Amino acid sequence: MKKLILLLVMTAGVFKLSAQNPADTVKYWTNQITPALNFNQVSLTNWSAGGDNSVSGTIYFKGVFKYKKNKTAWDNLIDVGYGMTKQGDQNLYKTEDKLNLASMIGVEAGGGKWYYTGMVDFKTTMAVGYNDPVNKTGKLSEFMSPGYLNFSIGMNYKPNDNFSLYLSPLSTKMTIVLDDSLSNAGAFGVDPGDKLRAEYGAKLELLAKKDDVIKNVGVSTRLGLFSNLTNNPQNVDVNWDFNMKFKVNDWLAATFTLNMIFDDDIKYVEPDGTVSGARVQLKQIFGFGLNYTFHN
């Protein structure tokens, strides 16, 4: 939680500094910051049908910072989410945990739609994840275990602010596992005892959004594909996010998110601790709460 607070403070500082030069900000920068808080609570007293009291909450922070001057375009993304829940007398445990950073800079190749582009993106979680989160046993992940750091160069097709298609024939994927126990177990595809695994291949990144599919309903999606061309290139890594926002007013909204991941290097751990082959990972969240977007 301290890492999340520090990140939000640093981001707010950057946004404030950019706003200190109004002329430059208005002319070249387009900033959009969206904090959100979803909360759910169930309280039962003498409830004959049974059940447990529960409380849960999730905080989100998304910042999009775009710079455009002459033939140069620079897009930056910060996407953070952290949620916890408690049911009855069980221990408090996390239900959402993500930290995603991405930066893409390009120079116009001609026609105003294609850009020579370089990209770096980073993903990790912020807290320990367990196979049995209630009893906090069977560690599966923690901060920088895993961490994913990707570098790539290629071409980006960007006809407008609502769509981009990035194609990179030269991409590097670094998988980082700093935790000793996970590293020694060879988690997330690293060789047992190693902290880092490097893969080289090709990458595709698609971004699309539409604010009003129907009135007060917006959708956005992000699809990332990576193929390790030096080892089993047919086993393509897939990372897909889909989001829907149902706006009630300027302050309240319902949100639906669906995340799908497939990575042949991430093995599935059964409840009894048995490790089996890779599987499609799915996460679906529906929430209602405070949701406001700041524009510069």
Residue ranges of domains in the chain: 2-40+53-295
pLDDT tens digits along 198-248: 999 999 999 999 999 999 999 999 999 999 999 999 999 999 999 999 999
Q: Terminus-to-terminus CA distance in the chain, angstroms?
A: 28
Q: Is the pTM of this model over 0.85?
A: yes
Instruction: Give the lowest-confidence range in 73-77, 195-199, 261-265, 266-270.
Output: 266-270
Task: Give the closest residue to 156 by CA, choosing from 213, 211, 116.
Answer: 116
Instruction: Give the lowest-confidence range in 10-14, 119-123, 206-210.
Output: 10-14
CA distance 55 to 220: 29
Q: Which residues of 263-280 are buried (b: 16+ CB within 10 A; e: fewer)?
A: bebbbeeeeeeeeeebee
Q: Which CATH class is domain 2-40+53-295?
A: mainly beta
Q: Which two tokens stand for residue 36?
A: 């959100």
CA distance 93 to 74: 37
pLDDT tens digits along 126-145: 999 999 998 899 999 999 99
Instruction: Give the lowest-confidence range in 48-52, 85-89, 135-139, 218-222.
Output: 48-52
Q: Which residues of 35-71 are buried (b: 16+ CB within 10 A; e: fewer)?
A: bbebeeeeeeeeeeeeeeeeebbbbbbbbbbbbeeee
